[in-house]
Structures are given as structure tokens and as C-alpha cells.
């Protein structure tokens, strides 16, 4: 009954709208009322027109992953795996240890602490919006999230579980057998590392941060950015930051040498890590890294693949000298940093999953 009333209400207001349009239409040619310019939507400001050619809005819903449909059961399994420290040899480290969703999808460490307190050599990038990166890792060695997810569990300095141990561990937890069966119906033995990777990927694809002030601006809300943030956006475009940081993730779409114009120095660019070269063995890729996303950048300090710079203003200054060959003024750095503050979106609300309990026969943690 209520629904019907609502339908009628909606229908009649639509009819009214149509009716109004018709009236206006029939009056066409008779100049009545205020001039049309005051009622028409104002043309978007030139800055917005340019910005729309360079950047795309983060959607509210996850993109589909090819060959890996996101059923609710699979996303739920992926979430469990993301938070389950029993995937690590020590049973003490989960994806969430280094990609904490309360900390912008990072660990806020220079380099992450992994198995037996070992430090990796690179800073942990955020998982938020990572689905939109052209490839994963600083050197792009994993094509996508699914391929990436196989890395950390078996990496000796991260979670340090030998490859065969991951499915063994999961099969040893009865609740996982059911969860995998529900997520991968029809598979005789669904508890595999490959399926764990698929489930993790669909969960990660759901970790989006839409609705940043900058996205509201791109959608047409001219007041979503302050005057200072707009100056920063203009500077970002005019100075040429957009050559590398563009597209949906304002980065994540290409590789670039760190130190195009001047070396940032050995602390920021240690000679031992040749970046993309490690993957391609092409000389011109030496010291190239995936251009990082600048979305949620105020949440993800410290910066650069070494994680050695804690102050965003300093990171911006380094970019001016190293990537643009132009020493930025304090005012430019301030404006660019303000613009970067407008790139923080709504953080995903993730309820902690209740994990299936271990039983007496579940493999025990290795020290």
C-alpha cells in the first residue's frame, strides 16, 4: 500500500516535470522570464575541463576481475584470508600486519617487519585502489592482484610459509574447507593456493576509496576544492607532475626513472635496488619504479620505495628536483601538498571477520 502510494507520488511528480518541460517547449520563441543563461548549468571552469582529461573518478563499486567473478562467498573468504595470521609460518603476520586498513592500507614503517623481525628492502605500498594499478609491486613484477597475492605468503622475509604449507595449513582448519567449497562451488578440492589468491584478489578489489574532495570536484562540484587546493592542482598540471601521476590512481599507470634530472641521492635511491630492471633486464629500466598512486597519500607516510622520507612536503620537493629539474618554491610546495590532501577518499569500512578456529590437528606455528 505504502509502496503504491509512493509509486503514484513518483509517477505524478514525473508527469509534472514532463508537463513543465512541455509548457516551456510550447512557449519557445516567446521571451518570458529571466534570460536562459541564469538558469542553465554554468560551463565548467577551465581547470576542471583540463582535470577531466587527465584523471578519472574512483567508482563506488569494485571493477570485475577477468576470470574471477566476485561472489559474496569469495569476497568473504578473501577477507578471512587477509586477516588470518595462520597463513604465516609464525602464525603472527597477516596481510593486514603490513597493509593495515586502519592506516591507509600500509604499515607506516620505512620498510616492513616480516618473519623473525626481518626487514624487507622496500616500503609497503597501499592496497587501497591497488586494483587500478597496471601492475603490482614497485617493480611491477606481478601482473595483477591475483598474481601478487601468491608472493607474500611464501616470501621468506614476509610470511615465510613454504608453498606446499599454505594449502596444508588451510585444510587443517575445518572451517576453511567449507568456506573454500562455498567460494569455489563444484571444485573437487577447492583448498588451493591458487584459489586463496583469487579470493584475496576479489577482496582487495573491494578496497576502494571513493568520494575524495578531488573526485567530487571531477564530478562537477566546483566548491569541493578550496582555492588553495585548486592552485595546487594547477601547479600539479603546469609543472608536469601529470606526466607520470595521472589517470584514475594519479599514478600506478607507468614506470619512470627515479632521478630523471638529478639523482635523489643514495639514501632515497640505494644503488643495490635497480627497480624495474630486475624484472626486464633492459638497461634503460635501471632505477625505474612504478609511479606510485597519490590517492590517500596523507595517510601513507613514509614515502618512496625506500620509505625514507616522512614529510610529504619534502617528498614533493624531491620530486621537483629529481623528476622535473625544477626547484619548487615554498609556495608551490604548499599548494601541491594542499592539493594532495584532497586526494583522501572515504576509507572502506571493513568489519573484522571471525576466523574459523584451529583444532587439535591444525598445523602449529613454526617459531
Q: What ranges in the chain are assigned the alpha helix state H?
A: 2-26, 36-39, 46-54, 72-83, 95-98, 145-154, 165-171, 174-183, 193-205, 213-218, 227-239, 277-280, 312-319, 330-341
Among 161, 246, 323, 362, binds ligand HEC (CB under 6 A): 323
Min dist CB 313 to ligand HEC, Å, is 9
Per-residue burial over 148-160, b if 16 or more Cβ lie within 10 Å, else e, is: bbbebbbeebbbb
Among 55, 176, 180, 304, binds ligand HEC (CB under 6 A): 304
Span interacting with ligand HEC, options 17-25, 31-39, 130-138, 209-217, rule CB under 6 A: 130-138
Instruction: Confirm or reject binding of residue 169 to ligand HEC (CB under 6 A).
Output: no
Residue 66 DSSP symbol: T
Please report how many Cα atoms fall inside a 13 Å half-sphere around the Cα of residue 348, on the Cβ side. 24
CA of 178: how far to CAs of 105, 198, 350, 357, in Å?
28, 16, 22, 13
**CB distance 216 to 345 below 8 Å:** no
Min dist CB 228 to ligand HEC, Å, is 15
The smaller minimum CB distance to ligand HEC, of residues 186 and 272, is found at 272
CA angle 297, 312, 259 (to 5 degrees): 100
In degrees and rounded to multiples of 5, residue 55 shows phi and psi of: -130, 160
Instruction: Confirm or reject binding of residue 315 to ligand HEC (CB under 6 A).
Output: yes
Q: Which of 45, 73, 146, 158 is catalytic?
A: 158
The smaller minimum CB distance to ligand HEC, of residues 24 and 327, is found at 327
Among 116, 243, 281, 364, binds ligand HEC (CB under 6 A): 243
Among 48, 79, 80, 114, binds ligand HEC (CB under 6 A): 114
The smaller minimum CB distance to ligand HEC, of residues 31 and 228, is found at 228
Among 125, 167, 247, 356, binds ligand HEC (CB under 6 A): 125
Q: Any bridge partners for residue 142, and if so which?
A: 136
Min dist CB 25 to ligand HEC, Å, is 50
Instruction: Confirm or reject binding of residue 133 to ligand HEC (CB under 6 A).
Output: yes
CA of 34: how far to CAs of 37, 60, 70, in Å?
8, 38, 52
Q: Which residues, other chains included, contact 283 with Cβ-Cβ below 8 Å and sequence gap of 6+? A: 277
Among 172, 247, 320, 345, binds ligand HEC (CB under 6 A): 320
Among 145, 193, 208, 335, binds ligand HEC (CB under 6 A): 145
Active site residue 158: yes
Q: Any bridge partners for residue 106, and if so which?
A: 100
By CB under 6 A, the residues from 34 to 93 that bind ligand HEC are 93
**CB distance 255 to 282 below 8 Å:** no
Q: Classify residue 28 as exposed, middle or buried by CB count within 10 Å of its CB (0-12, 13-18, 19+).
A: exposed
C-alpha cell at 239: 609543472
Number of residues that bind ligand HEC (CB under 6 A): 51
The smaller minimum CB distance to ligand HEC, of residues 180 and 304, is found at 304
Binding mask 275-294 for ligand HEC (x = CB under 6 A): --------------x-xx-x
Span interacting with ligand HEC, options 29-37, 41-49, 129-137, 276-284, rule CB under 6 A: 129-137
Instruction: Confirm or reject binding of residue 130 to ligand HEC (CB under 6 A).
Output: yes
User: Cα separation of 145 and 260, whole Å?
Assistant: 29
C-alpha cell at 5: 502510494
User: Cα separation of 160 and 315, whole Å?
Assistant: 32
Instruction: Confirm or reject binding of residue 161 to ligand HEC (CB under 6 A).
Output: no
By CB under 6 A, the residues from 90 to 109 that bind ligand HEC are 93, 95, 97-99
Report the interface residues with ligand HEC, using CB under 6 A: 93, 95, 97-99, 112, 114, 120, 122, 124-125, 127, 130, 133, 136-138, 145, 148-149, 152-153, 158-159, 200, 204, 239-241, 243-245, 256, 258, 260, 289, 291-292, 294, 297, 300, 303-305, 315-316, 319-320, 323-324, 336
Residues marked active site are found at: 158
Amino acid at each position: 500500500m505504502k509502496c503504491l502510494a509512493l509509486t503514484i507520488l513518483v509517477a505524478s511528480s514525473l508527469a509534472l516535470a514532463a508537463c513543465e518541460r512541455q509548457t516551456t517547449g510550447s512557449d519557445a520563441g516567446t521571451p518570458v522570464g529571466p534570460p536562459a543563461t541564469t538558469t542553465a548549468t554554468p560551463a565548467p571552469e577551465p581547470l576542471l575541463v583540463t582535470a577531466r582529461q587527465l584523471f578519472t573518478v574512483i567508482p563506488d563499486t569494485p571493477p570485475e576481475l577477468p576470470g574471477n567473478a566476485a561472489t559474496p562467498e569469495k569476497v568473504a573468504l578473501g577477507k578471512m584470508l587477509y586477516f588470518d595470521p595462520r597463513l604465516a609460518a609464525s602464525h603472527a603476520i597477516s596481510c593486514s600486519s603490513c597493509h593495515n586498513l586502519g592506516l591507509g592500507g600500509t604499515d607506516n614503517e620505512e620498510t616492513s617487519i616480516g618473519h623473525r623481525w626481518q626487514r624487507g628492502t622496500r616500503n609497503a605500498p597501499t592496497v587501497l585502489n591497488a586494483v587500478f594499478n597496471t601492475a603490482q609491486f614497485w617493480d611491477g613484477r606481478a601482473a595483477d592482484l591475483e598474481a601478487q597475492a601468491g608472493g607474500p605468503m611464501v616470501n621468506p622475509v614476509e610470511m615465510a610459509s613454504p608453498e606446499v604449507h599454505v594449502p596444508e595449513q588451510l585444510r587443517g582448519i575445518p572451517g576453511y574447507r567449507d568456506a573454500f567449497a562455498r567460494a569455489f562451488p563444484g571444485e573437487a578440492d577447492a583448498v588451493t593456493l591458487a584459489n586463496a589468491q583469487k579470493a584475496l584478489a576479489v577482496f582487495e578489489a573491494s578496497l576502494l576509496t571513493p568520494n575524495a574532495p578531488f573526485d567530487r570536484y571531477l564530478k562537477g562540484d566546483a566548491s569541493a576544492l578550496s582555492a588553495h587546493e585548486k592552485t595546487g592542482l594547477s601547479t600539479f598540471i603546469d609543472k608536469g607532475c601529470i606526466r607520470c601521476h595521472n589517470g584514475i590512481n594519479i599514478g600506478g599507470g607507468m614506470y619512470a626513472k627515479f632521478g630523471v634530472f638529478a639523482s635523489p641521492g643514495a639514501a632515497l635511491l640505494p644503488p643495490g635496488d635497480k627497480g624495474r630492471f630486475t624484472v626486464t633486464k633492459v638497461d634503460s629500466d635501471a632505477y625505474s619504479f612504478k609511479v606510485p598512486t597519490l590517492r590517500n597519500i596523507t595517510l601513507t607516510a613514509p614515502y618512496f620505495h625506500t620509505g625514507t622520507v616522512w614529510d610529504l612536503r619534502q617528498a614533493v620537493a624531491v620530486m621537483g628536483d629529481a623528476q622535473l629539474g625544477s626547484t619548487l618554491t615554498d609556495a608551490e610546495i604548499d599548494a601541491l601538498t594542499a592539493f594532495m590532501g584532497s586526494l583522501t577518499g572515504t576509507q572502506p569500512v571493513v568489519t573484522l571477520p571471525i576466523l574459523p578456529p584451529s583444532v587439535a590437528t591444525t598445523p602449529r606455528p613454526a617459531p
